[in-house]
Amino acid sequence: MNFKYVSMMACAALMAGFTSCSNDSDVEAPAPSEKGTATVDIKLNIPSTRGSSNYIGTSEESAIKEISVWIYDVKDGSTTVSHKKVANGASVTGIETTAGEKVIYVGANLPATIKGNITSAGKDLITSYVHNITMTDLANDVANNGIAMFAQTSLSANLVATPEGTTTTPNANKLTVKVERMVAKIAVAQKTDIVFATGFETTLDFTVKQTNRYIFTTKQETDPNYNGYLYSWNGTKSVIEAGATYGPEQFENSQNYLAVKAVADGADGDAWSANVNSFYVPENMEVLGRMGSNTYVSIRARYGTTTFWTINDATTNALKSIETSKPTAAADEVVYEYKDGYCYYRVYPIKETGYNVHRNDYYRVKINEIKGLGAPNDETEYTEDPDKEPDPFYPPGKPIDETNALVDVTVEVMNWVLFDEEEHVLGE
């Protein structure tokens, strides 16, 4: 497997800064206090030009449809919550709260579940709150709803009272914030001159699997999905860990397969965005790099178009023969069925990222060659039977091995940006 590491954890962030809003709003403000009423403006500034060579995102992936703000008073603990629909590139103005020292969190395009969770969590638990979500919660109908985003750090501000008789927000209350997408993007293409081993059909498709159901509000060094794990590896087989609480129910594996399309070597970001299929996935920070836990791309190929069987060595799982009718296995053999000729290959994120999937990163997978027969299916059969290997092709608990003799791919980690990679000043 061929890897190219472009920029680990170099996440291009979307930038927020601040001027007009729609009337579609939902604001919960505290009662006025002796400190006076303060208004807050939060503005978004998106440049209108781009460079094609750096264009590896789409306008939809950078769109802001709604801005959510949580304002916490440092002294009395009162809270202002605001959710306002905005036109893309517009601003939130006139959020009414009280003057004084505040801690402020900002998100964008958040699903109702996450907004409710954050409101109920309170200031001290926001960043570490564990959300039970799906891929579509975070990126549902992106064209109309945008992608869920959140500020990695809070803002601290000493808000001043807005003078009576004026609607002008004081300069001290005009704030800026940088938000990041709460998902990663994984795109898969094939070389225009891809090589297929003899007997293979020349079309491929793919999906993503083992995507997390549980995420923190902001990026953390740990992962809420892995408090316990069902399997470890003893050097030869998967072993069930005593007292493990982790299992496959913490993954989402229901995505449809999408066609793998061709892209030329050296193609710029425009070509990838316009021609290549992709998925948006939650981050996966499983630090040990193990099969059965890390998010991966499942590539599906087809060896012929009819069902066949293979005879494999029962100890090493090495392929012995391919049969057109179901054979009887000897004592030291195992038989696998390849339904309608389909076989599967797994591709994990690159080793330099610990095989993790980081939010706000863009992973591009290019398939160069299909060399041999993959696995007969891509469904790990989780079992608590200590004598049964749940997946002989990709044993859960086994450390990920980036070498794969059956498929050759190139994986790049890109800055997920829309515009030129220049420094933009916020709020100007």
Instruction: Give yes or no: residues 175 and 194 share one domain.
Output: no
Closest CA to 69 of 88, 46, 97, 89: 97
Q: 412 exposed, middle or buried (CB, 10 Å; 0-12, 13-18, 19+)?
A: middle
> Does one domain contain both 167 and 211?
no
Amino acid identity, residue 195?
V
* Inter-CA distances, 355 with 120, 280, 331, 391, Å: 33, 17, 37, 20
Final residue before a domain boundary, out of 160, 182, 204: 182
Residue 253 pLDDT > 80: no
| Per-residue pLDDT reduced to its tens digit, 295-354 | 899 999 999 999 999 999 998 889 999 999 999 999 999 999 999 999 999 998 877 777
In 167-277, beta strands by DSSP E? 174-175, 177-181, 183-196, 205-209, 211-212, 214-216, 231-233, 238-240, 251-252, 258-259, 261-263
Phi–psi pair at 419, nearest 5 degrees? -110, 180
Q: Which residue has the higher pLDDT, 76 or 289?
A: 76
pLDDT at 43 over 50: yes
pLDDT score of 394: 86
Residues 380 and 268 both lie in one domain: yes
Token couple for 88 = 């893309």
Residue 428 inside a domain? The answer is no
Q: Is the confidence at residue 290, as pLDDT, over 50? A: yes
Q: Give residue 396's pLDDT.
A: 82
What CATH number is attached to the domain comprising 63?
2.60.40
Domain that holds residue 313: 184-415
Last residue of a domain, one of 182, 209, 227: 182
Nearest to 368 by CA among 197, 186, 185: 197
In a domain, 139, yes or no: yes
pLDDT at res. 24: 47
Q: The CATH number of the domain where 303 resides is what? A: 2.60.40.3690
Regarding whether 251 and 191 lie in a shared domain, the answer is: yes
On whether residue 201 sits in a domain, the answer given is yes
Per the CB < 8 A criterion, the answer to whether 118 and 71 are in contact is no
Exposed, middle or buried, 150 (CB in 10 Å: 0-12/13-18/19+)?
Answer: buried
The residue with greater pLDDT, 224 or 169, is 169
Q: In this structure, is residue 25 part of a structural domain?
A: yes
Burial of 68 (0-12, 13-18, 19+ CB in 10 A): buried
- Whether residues 263 and 361 share a domain: the answer is yes
Residue 265 shares a structural domain with residue 373: yes
Is residue 4 within 8 A of residue 410, CB to CB? The reply is yes
What number of CA atoms fall less than 13 Å from residue 276's CA on the CB side? Answer: 29
124-166 pLDDT, tens per residue? 899 889 999 888 889 888 888 989 999 888 999 999 999 888 8
Highest-pLDDT range among 23-27, 90-94, 388-392 = 90-94
The whole-number pLDDT of residue 273 equals 81
3-class state of residue 188 by DSSP: strand
Tell whether 352 is covered by a domain: yes
Q: Which residue has the higher pLDDT, 70 or 29?
A: 70
Q: Which of 164, 182, 200 lies at the terminal end of a domain, its last residue?
A: 182
Give the integer Cα–Cα distance in Å for 224 and 238. Answer: 23
| 34 and 132 part of one domain | yes
Same domain, residue pair 109 and 190: no
* CA 386 from centroid of its chain's CA atoms: 33
For residue 303, what is the DSSP state?
B
Query: Given phi > 0 = left and psi -120 to 50 = alpha, else beta, which region is 289?
Result: left
Pair (289, 271) in one structural domain: yes
**Quick one: 299 and 406 in the same domain?**
yes
Contact in structure between 42 and 91 (CB atoms under 8 Å): yes
**pLDDT recorded at residue 230:** 65
Query: 139 and 14 share a domain?
Result: yes
Q: Is residue 380 part of a domain?
A: yes
Contact (Cβ atoms closer than 8 angstroms) between residue 215 and residue 131: yes
Name the domain count of the chain. Answer: 2
* Residue 289 maps to a domain: yes
Asked whether the predicted pLDDT for residue 46 surpasses 60, the reply is no
Tokens of 213: 């159901």
Query: Three-state SS for 84?
Result: strand
- Residues 104 and 230 occupy one common structural domain: no
Q: List, for residues 79-90, the tens digit of each pLDDT value.
A: 999 999 987 666
